[in-house]
Amino acid sequence: MIYNMVHNEQDAWDLAQESFVKAWKSIKRFRRHSSFYTWIYRIVMNVTIDWLRKKQIKSGGAEFDDSIQLKEVDPASRTLPKADPLPHERMQHVEIREKIDHAIKQLTPEHRAVILMKEIEGMQYHEIAETLGCSIGTVMSRLFYARKRLQNLLREVYENV
C-alpha cells in the first residue's frame, strides 16, 4: 500500500519502518475498538499521507480545478482481456499503466489513499472510513472527486482506446 502511494521503493521501506516504530511506541493505546489490522493500517496510512503532504508543500503541488466538466464515464467500469495480448498490445498496456500511475501520483494524498484502498486493496467503504478515521460520507466524497480527477487526467487514454 505504501509503495502504491509513493512509487519509490526506498521511501516505502522508510515509511513502513517509521510506521511500525510509531505503532510499537503507541501499542499501549490500542483499545481493541477495531481490529489490529485496521489500527496498524490507519497508522501506516497517516504516516504516508503526512509524508506526502510535506513533500507536496516543498514541491509546490496544486489542487485540481473542480469546475472542469467531464464526459459521462462510469467510474466503476472495467474491462477484461479475452486472450493473452499480442506484443504490441502488451506494450500499449504498459504505456497506459504508466499514464495511470502518473495520474494517480497527481492526486492529493487523501484522494490517492481512497482510490488505492478501494480499487487496489478492494476495501469496503466502512473499512476505509474506519482506517482513515472519517465518515463513510467523507470516503464517498473523496472517492468521487478522486475518480473525477482521474477521468480528467486520463481523458486522452480512454478517448484513444
CATH number, domain of 138, equals 1.10.10.10
Amino acid at 78: R
Dihedral (CA of 137, 140, 144, 146) sign: positive
Q: Say whether 135 sits in a helix, a strand or coil.
A: coil
Measured between alpha carbons, how far is 141 from 134 in angstroms, rounded to an integer? 11
Question: Does the residue 74 lie in any domain?
Answer: no
Question: Does the residue 72 lie in any domain?
Answer: no
Q: C-alpha grid cell for residue 158?
A: 480512454
Measured between alpha carbons, how far is 135 from 60 in angstroms, rounded to an integer? 29
Number of domains the chain is built from: 1
Question: Does the residue 6 lie in any domain?
Answer: yes
Q: Which domain holds residue 135?
A: 2-62+86-160
What pLDDT shows up at residue 71? 46
What pLDDT shows up at residue 138? 93
List CB contacts of 150: < 8 A, sequence separation 6 or more: 100, 103, 104, 107, 115
Measured between alpha carbons, how far is 151 from 133 in angstroms, rounded to an integer? 27
Question: Does the residue 115 lie in any domain?
Answer: yes
Measured between alpha carbons, how far is 120 from 103 in angstroms, rounded to an integer? 15
Question: Does the residue 67 lie in any domain?
Answer: no
Burial of 14 (0-12, 13-18, 19+ CB in 10 A): middle
Question: Does the residue 78 lie in any domain?
Answer: no
What pLDDT shows up at residue 58? 66
What pLDDT shows up at residue 161? 60
Question: Does the residue 79 lie in any domain?
Answer: no
pTM, full prediction: 0.54
List the chain pLDDT tens, one digit each, 161 residues: 888 888 888 999 999 999 999 989 988 888 877 788 888 888 998 899 889 888 876 665 544 444 444 444 455 545 444 456 667 677 777 888 888 888 888 899 899 999 999 988 888 999 999 888 899 999 999 999 999 999 888 887 777 66
What pLDDT shows up at residue 159? 73
What pLDDT shows up at residue 146? 93
